[in-house]
Amino acid sequence: MREDRDDEGLRAYKRRWEEHTLKPNLARFPESRASFTSISGRPIERVYTPLDTAGTNYERDLANPGDYPFTRGVHATGYRSKPWTMRIFAGFGSAEETNARYKYLIEQGNMGLSVAFDLPTLMGYDSDAPEALGEFGKCGVAVSCLRDMEILFDGIPLDEISTSMTINSPAAIIWAYYLAAAAKQGVPMERLRGTLQNDILKEYIAQKEYIFPPEPSMRLVTDTIEYASQRLPHWNSISVSGYHIREAGSTAAQELAFTLIDGMEYARWAIERGLDVDDFAPRISFFFNAHNDFFEEIAKYRAARRIWAREMRETFGAKNPRSWLMRFHTQTAGVSLTAQQPEVNLIRTAIQALAGVLGGTQSLHTNSMDEALALPSEHAVTLAMRTQQVILEESGVANTVDPLGGSYFVESLTNALEAEAYAYFRRVEDLGGVLPALEAGFFMQEIADASYRQMREVESGERGIVGINRQVEADEQLRIPILQMDPQGYERQAARLAALRRERDNDKTVRALSALGEACRGSENVMPYLIECALADATLGETVDVMREVFGAHEERLFV
């Protein structure tokens, strides 16, 4: 009897194994998953062999870490000699509130500050402008004048910490406030370290936070590149951002291609200004997304390094090996976070962060679990920082450089992404270049198509997301505390701006703004004039108004 029961049990086990392993569950795997795909829709084979890298320049392109074309990393020693910079993107409410958060993050092990600005600041409005009503401090910190910038970094020595600022259309103005605040701290420009995002092309492509038309905006970016190359040897005057392109719904290959082609366009403008490529290329940095498809993301970073090195050396003629190096910051995918079961976002973020590390990032931000609901709480942001620290201190993945290098799967994905990026380069070239492609709506249409496909896959259940169309909880309840901002923050900010306009030397302010307007009408670099405006207590809105009068305002065409 015992043997019969055991045999029946074995037969039942075998039936279950066959049903779930040999015959996939059709409800879970639509169309039997006859072909598996990456999150970007790339077909994934069952297994990869040396044949998948045959016919490519495999040995040359793989090389050793630290060797051209840097597929395996820009540094020979990787994280063995220096860990990646741990940054937590932060900013909310008033400058006082964000300053307190920065000091807390530094105490928790944050190695560099990363400033999030609120929507009025991103769009060039003062906090008390009618256009800014209701948006104060909601998605970042409000900075409307030099005094705000001084408060933001009060008690934080700017010569001892690296600062990244996510600002684009008014980037030159905000940078001028930062440089002026550093000068008032007694810190000379040549000692400042940090990054200005300053990537206006991706605003037209994806994020849509633009003010001026493309050509004058590109002039402003070129002014900052020129100014930094001459006066701030440790400052990255631009961080070419694929992050927002990916957040808008692009595939990994589109993020890779559009980011790199934007970077090359900035290089062309700087060279046309008269700069030598080796004067500025070593200080161009990049900013990529870390999405859910672990291996595709790793391959994306490896392909990016290889393409940039090749283009800088062979197309742009850079002689300095540092000009060939792609250094990049990575942020985990905000768009992947869910309001449902927010604790699960910790797991998503850990996987994405690990992909960034294995891909060789120089700097990393990990999103907080509550960001689909609100700005991060102190508890959530601490867990986000601890995620990076566990990866560094406990996982062992930083002990060797490019541990996945040589994987048939990873190398095949790297080659495929590189080939797809070059196909996009040719399509943009056929349209006449980046600005004509923007005018034609090419980038936007490509991203919209990719985003629509991904949305349909989720809605149909073909692509699973835990908490959305898999493992859904019937009685979803909010189980985590949400950040509460100071309700008096706006009143304090409005009062500070009113006092500034009342107490400053308004004649000095008017003279500085007038000189800026003349510089904008001419061909001079505007950075010295913007710094003078900052020191004369001109507000962000006042400065943008002067520039808008000269440059005009951008209005996007509708494509149907």
pLDDT, one tens digit per residue, over 246-300 is 999 999 999 999 999 999 999 999 999 999 999 999 999 999 999 999 999 999 9
Beta strands in 341-403 (DSSP E): 363-365
- The span from the CA of 269 to the CA of 215, in Å, is 10
128-162 pLDDT tens trace: 999 999 999 999 999 999 999 999 999 999 999 99
- pLDDT tens, position by position, 195-244: 999 999 999 999 999 999 999 999 999 999 999 999 999 999 999 999 99
Of 13-17, 42-46, 164-168, 428-432, least confident by mean pLDDT is: 13-17
The terminus-to-terminus CA distance of the chain in angstroms comes to 73
Phi, psi angle pair for 404, to nearest 5°: -95, 0
29 band by pLDDT with thresholds 50, 70 and 90: very low
Q: Within a domain: residue 299?
A: yes
Q: Which two tokens stand for residue 421?
A: 């990026």
> Nearest CA to 215 among 230, 231, 200?
200
What type of residue is 497? L
237/243 Cα distance (integer angstroms): 17
- Flag whether pLDDT at 403 surpasses 70: yes
- Do the domain assignments include residue 362? yes
Would you say residue 177 lies in a domain?
yes
Cα(560)–Cα(558) distance, rounded to whole angstroms?
6
Q: How many domains does the chain have?
A: 1
Identify whether the C-beta of residue 334 lies closer than 8 Å to the C-beta of residue 361.
no
- Which tens digit of pLDDT belongs to each residue from 54-81? 656 666 778 899 999 999 999 999 999 9
Mean pLDDT across the chain: 91
pLDDT tier for residue 23 given thresholds of 50, 70 and 90: very low
534 found inside a domain: no
Question: Is pLDDT at 15 greater than 60 in this prediction?
Answer: no
- Provide the CATH number for the domain around residue 108: 3.20.20.240
Q: Which domain holds residue 86?
A: 50-460
Average pLDDT over residues 310-337: 97
Distance CA 136, CA 121 (A): 9
Say if 346 falls within a structural domain. yes
Q: Does a structural domain hold residue 557? A: no
Determine the Cα–Cα distance for residues 474 and 451; give it in Å rounded to an integer: 28
For the entire predicted model, the pTM comes to 0.90
pLDDT of residue 57: 67
d(CA 365, CA 388): 8
Contact 86, 389 (CB under 8 A): yes
* In-domain check, residue 21: no
In a domain, 550, yes or no: no
How far apart (Å, rounded) are the C-alpha atoms in residues 460 and 463?
8
